[in-house]
Each structure stands twice: as C-alpha cells, then as structure tokens.
Amino acid sequence: MSDRSGSHPSNRRPIHRQVSFEFLGTGVSSGVPVIGCSCLTCTSRDLKDKRLRCSAALRFGGDRGEERTILFDAGPDLRQQALRAGLERVDALLFTHNHVDHTWGLDEIRRFNTLMEGPVDIYANDHTLEFLRRVYGHIFDSKNNVQPSYVASVIPHRLLPMVPEELFGLRITPIPLLHGKLPVLGFRVDAVHPMVAARAGIDDLLPLAYCTDVSGIPTETWPMLEGLRTLVLGALRSRKHPTHFSIDEAVDAAQRVGAKETWFIHMNHEVRHEPVDRALPNGIRLAWDGLVLPRTAEEERNEDEWALGWRE
C-alpha cells in the first residue's frame, strides 16, 4: 500500500457552489488518531482516518441573495476546521447538545464577530444554554470580567423540539433524539423560500437531517426523517455502546429512513475508513473530514480513483 496522502481529494478546496454542506469533523470526543495509540487506524496514512471532533457547515445563498453560513456545533477543533474550510462568516450556530466535544469552540466565534462586525446568533435547547452560560461566564456576563478583553459576542435563542426556525430562507426543525439517557437534538433542514429553493444544487442536498451522538430515535421523530435527500447519522463503532449507535444499528436506522444518501459520522479509532466503508450497503457511506456535498461528477471520479489505489 503506497502513501498517497498528499493527493487525497479532500486536500483540494471545493469548487464554488451555490449550496454546500461540509463535514468539518467526523470523529469522537477523543478525535482520531487518539493520543498515545498505535493501532492501525491511528497510525494510518489514509487521510480519511484523521478525524477532528464533529461539526459541519452549511453554506448557501440566502433569501436576499447574500452568502450565508450555518454551523452545526462548535467543538474544540473549530479554529483548525474554519481555517481548512476557509470559513469567513457564521450567520447562525446550532448546538445539538452540551457535551464538550460539541461546545468547546464557542470562544472561536469572536473572530467571526470581527469579520462580520456584529454578534452571532446561537441556538440550543434549555439544557445546553444553561451549560453554555455556566461554562462561558466571560462571554455571557462579560460585564463582570476583571478587565475588558476580546471575547465572543453571541445572541442566544431557545430551541424547542419540533418547533421550526426560519433562517435565511431555510426551515430548520429541531428533532428529538436520545444520546443514552440524555435528550439531544438533531436538525432537519428544508428550503422554503422560493429564491433559496431555486439555487443550483439545492435538490441534490436538501432535505437534510443532521443527527450525531444518537443511540435511539423516539417514535415522534421518525416522521421528521421521511423524504430526506441526505441523512447524516452517528455510527460509533462495530461493537454496541450504551449512548451511541453501533454501525449495524446505524445501518438499520438508515435503511428505515431511506434517504437517497446517508453519511455516517462520529466514528472512533476502531473504525478504519476504507474496509468499513467498502462493506456498507449501497447508498450508505462513511463521511470524512473535508468532504463537501453535493459532490460533482469529477469529485466522485477522483474519489473512486483514490479508493482503488488504496485497495490495490
């Protein structure tokens, strides 16, 4: 097996798209490689086995024609992810839940405040908002800081399950999921404004559901997963886990949903990308850091050539 990491397609910046969904990170709370581990995944030269903590960016032309970026979660790798993806704005930040691998990048929002010359709207349920206020007192109660300092400026908004938010021509519906015993949120994204719905490529991506860190889907949530073009779903590892879907459990859920494309995220270092991805059913893939949807035919050809080279 040769080292082809330098030519990996995810190293190339994506072409301009009127709509794109980029996987900024696809890994677990420890990331991959794991500190101090010499397993086959952690020592792999395949860049698809290098996973930062989970986050994603949806970029599109809004209902007034301007460029918009919606960020899903803000983990501790956000600065590195934003630099790699070339992010220059965040118009809204949606939190799935309060765990540190999904929230400990909130400080990095301050740079987007500078670029956009204003605060960033953040959206979360009550449990997550309480956590953020407690952990980020220097942001939410900046008047109590010992001295003025460069801190993020945010406007918090409370999310309620099944109550949609209209953002820039999109309808984003928080959908209830279970992460072990913890109720968390996924998000369903639909284009509702005619100008946004007419964007080139929108039908190749939306409706989309983003569902990370999930071990169970409540009965009332299944109807919200109908008619999807794209499903993003957590799949931790092959073995069962009390708070995450295993790969087999995620496959079962994905096949029940029946989206045109399903992409698994939140994989740990027990999952080597190439052999696991190759064994998945048609229409279901492992995502990787830097993957941008929808993919062009050229990108798919490049990816097929890369995968063939690794198998050889």
Q: Which domain holds residue 164?
A: 16-311
User: Is 51 inside a domain boundary?
Assistant: yes
240 contact partners, CB below 8 Å, separation of at least 6 = 246, 249
Among 277, 181, 285, CA closest to 233: 285
- pLDDT for 76: 98
85-110: per-residue pLDDT in tens?
A: 999 999 999 999 999 999 999 999 99
User: Is 6 inside a domain boundary?
Assistant: no
pTM above 0.85, yes or no: yes
Among 142, 141, 155, CA closest to 112: 155
DSSP state of 267: B
- pLDDT for 258: 98
User: Is 9 inside a domain boundary?
Assistant: no
Mode of pairing for the β-strands spanning 67-72 and 292-293: unpaired
User: Is 11 inside a domain boundary?
Assistant: no
Q: How distant is the alpha carbon of residue 241 from its chain centre?
A: 21
Among 285, 254, 272, CA closest to 51: 272
- pLDDT for 224: 98
User: Is 108 inside a domain boundary?
Assistant: yes
> Distance between CA 196 and CA 306 in Å, rounded?
34
133-187: per-residue pLDDT in tens?
A: 999 999 999 988 898 889 999 999 999 999 999 999 999 999 999 999 999 999 9
Phi-psi region of 154 (alpha: psi -120 to 50; beta: other; left: phi over 0): beta
> Distance between CA 91 and CA 55 in Å, rounded?
15
User: Is 1 inside a domain boundary?
Assistant: no
- pLDDT for 5: 46
Integer angstrom CA distances of residue 129 from 24, 74, 96, 146, 154: 23, 14, 11, 23, 12
DSSP state of 216: B
- pLDDT for 303: 74
CATH of the domain at 83: 3.60.15.10
User: Is 2 inside a domain boundary?
Assistant: no
- pLDDT for 300: 78
User: Do the beta carbons of residue 74 and residue 65 sit within 8 Å?
Assistant: no
- pLDDT for 4: 45
Those residues of the chain that have pLDDT short of 70 are: 1-17, 304-312
Q: CA geometry: angle at 123 spanning 135 and 188, to 5°?
A: 135
DSSP state of 202: G
Can you list the pairs that 303-312 forms with residues at least 24 positions away whose Cβ atoms lie under 8 Å? 303/9, 306/4, 306/7, 306/8, 306/9, 307/274, 307/277, 307/278, 309/2, 309/4, 310/1, 310/4, 310/46, 310/274, 311/274, 311/278
Question: Alpha-carbon Rg of the chain, whole angstroms?
Answer: 19
Number of domains in the chain: 1
DSSP, collapsed to helix, strand or coil, labels residue 65 as coil
User: Is 263 inside a domain boundary?
Assistant: yes
